């Protein structure tokens, strides 16, 4: 669909897609359904299930100012043949990470196949949040041009309402959240 763009060295360090479910999928804590495992293993042939830990820290105004909780859960981890990509599947989420990104179409096809298989195995599963993140690695040869001058104003500040004189851009995020 898109024209092939070839760079001497890809500027994408990692591409991540993630879906958080509205409610955890209870069936994933104990086992992975065979049909789902077959679909996943066609794209991610190395299977290494692990135990993972989620920690939550709440800051509360009052006598008990800090509450901390820790939960252990089963995480199904799959890798590409050369570990160039990772799929993590757990009751609350599914997450795919490409360290050697090829094309959007390839990633979309693989991720859609996994999501479709999850939907068939767990028809009550609902998406609460979807995220797609591109992590760039920009190497600038050693010369005296400031980094900020290499990025057009339209990209750095797309709404033109934020003054850039004297400011330093720390992070620019464009979040997408779909509520159902």
Least confident of 6-20, 27-41, 68-82, 101-115: 6-20
Does residue 31 contact residue 150 with C-beta atoms inside 8 Å?
Answer: no
Domain ranges of the chain: 12-139
pTM over 0.95: no
* Residue 13 clears pLDDT 70, i.e. is over it: yes
- Residue from 175, 170, 40 nearest 111 by CA: 40
Strand partners, 85: 98
pLDDT in tens, 51-69: 988 888 887 777 777 888 8
Looking at per-residue pLDDT, the higher value among 178 and 9 belongs to 9
């Amino acid at each position: 669909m898109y024209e092939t763009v070839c760079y001497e060295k890809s500027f994408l360090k990692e591409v991540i897609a993630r879906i958080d479910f509205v409610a955890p999928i209870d069936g994933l804590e104990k086992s992975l359904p065979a049909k789902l495992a077959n679909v996943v293993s066609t794209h991610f042939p190395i299977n290494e299930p692990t135990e993972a830990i989620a920690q939550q820290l709440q800051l509360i105004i009052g006598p008990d100012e800090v509450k901390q909780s820790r939960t252990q859960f089963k995480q199904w981890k799959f890798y590409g043949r050369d570990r160039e990509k990772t799929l993590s599947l757990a009751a609350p989420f599914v997450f795919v990470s490409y360290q050697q990104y090829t094309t959007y179409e390839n990633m979309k096809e693989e991720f859609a196949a996994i999501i479709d298989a999850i939907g068939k195995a767990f028809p009550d599963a609902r998406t609460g949040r979807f995220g797609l993140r591109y992590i760039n690695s920009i190497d600038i040869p050693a010369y005296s041009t400031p980094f900020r001058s290499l990025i057009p104003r339209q990209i750095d500040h797309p709404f033109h309402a934020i003054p850039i004189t004297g400011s330093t851009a720390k992070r620019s995020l464009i979040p997408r959240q779909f509520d159902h």
